[in-house]
Structure 1
């Protein structure tokens, strides 16, 4: 067989993303939001240990890139901030219901969401040098609460606002064992 038609089998990879990881009190509040959304929308409530706000999705990443990503993440600092989760939202096609901050479309954008947008851009500025993935075309900070939900009608209004104070973000690996669990592999400095 000619060399041009042969392909090497893919090497081992790990599925990665960067995220804000909530503290226990924030997880508890998000659980209340999820229960309320579930009463209206049905679907599957996300497990508390999987709740997070994605800053950047790398996807399947060659395992040999992981050490450099870990080192670079551990050497980073972010500007501490607070994002206010104040509304429900939905992605209809994947049938996801989420909690998120107000944005320009709501008429009252959250300053914390704007700061997260800046962190998202800064993250991708350095990741591009190490990883071939590309950033999402439109960054919308959110926490997935339900999957496989009926997104035609959302609970209104949202329960009390959640003030999520953050000081770092983490690099997370999706476990490849079918458990749907995540493992934090690195964190920025506080």
Structure 2
């Protein structure tokens, strides 16, 4: 089972991210990420056996996150995989959350990635680098309080993400 931990945006913010993905797609091409898959990855756990997924679901279900807010105010591009994203400065609470989760996971024997955390929402894959002038300014605030354990399953239309567990609110 391919798993990761993520923050899932509320529906209205997810729709806004989808609109930005449409705009970016018209300028950069590539493959647009489906609205239902828009998220912030906190830790990629890779392939895990079913019993480990159950352990992780119990672990996360017993956790309460400190609420936080993250300001998304910039576009970005990871050249090698051709990822176009939106993100912002790593707010200290968000950075602490990611670091704490990664340490807890390592204590459970899971080598979680990323080591270097660049908080972002992937909008496009296999896309061209956007020119700064072609994309609109971004200024969105995301209040978060829960994380999800997500199962990633490949399909012919791309990956399908299914939440398996949530932290407590």
Find the partner of 1:65 among 44, 52, 59: 52
- Taking a change above 3 Å as real, the CA distance of residues 74 and 66 of structure 1, as seen in their structure-2 partners, is same
1:149 shift after superposition: 0.3
Find the partner of 1:45 among 29, 32, 51: 32
Per the normalisation by structure 2, the TM-score is: 0.92
The RMSD of aligned alpha carbons is 1.7
Unaligned 5+ runs, structure 2 = none
Partner of 1:120: 98
On the 8 A contact 1:82/1:166 being kept in 2, the answer is: yes
1:17 shift after superposition: 0.3
User: In the alignment, does 2:158 pair up with 1:185?
Assistant: no
Q: Give the 5 Å matches for 1:152-163.
A: 153-155=131-133, 158-163=136-141
On the 8 A contact 2:27/2:134 being kept in 1, the answer is: no
1:156 shift after superposition: 5.2
- Taking a change above 3 Å as real, the CA distance of residues 183 and 155 of structure 1, as seen in their structure-2 partners, is farther
1:154 shift after superposition: 4.3
1:176 shift after superposition: 4.4
1:152 shift after superposition: 5.5
Which runs of structure 1 show a deviation greater than 4 angstroms over 4 or more consecutive aligned residues? 154-157, 176-179
Higher normalized strand content (fraction of residues): 2
Find the aligned partners of 2:69 and 2:3 in 1 and give their Cα distance. 24
Per the normalisation by structure 1, the TM-score is: 0.82
User: In the alignment, does 2:154 pair up with 1:167?
Assistant: no
Q: Give the 5 Å matches for 1:66-145.
A: 66-101=53-88, 103=89, 113-145=91-123
- Taking a change above 3 Å as real, the CA distance of residues 46 and 177 of structure 1, as seen in their structure-2 partners, is closer
The alignment of Structure 1 onto Structure 2 pairs a total of residues equal to 168
Unaligned 5+ runs, structure 1 = 1-13, 104-109
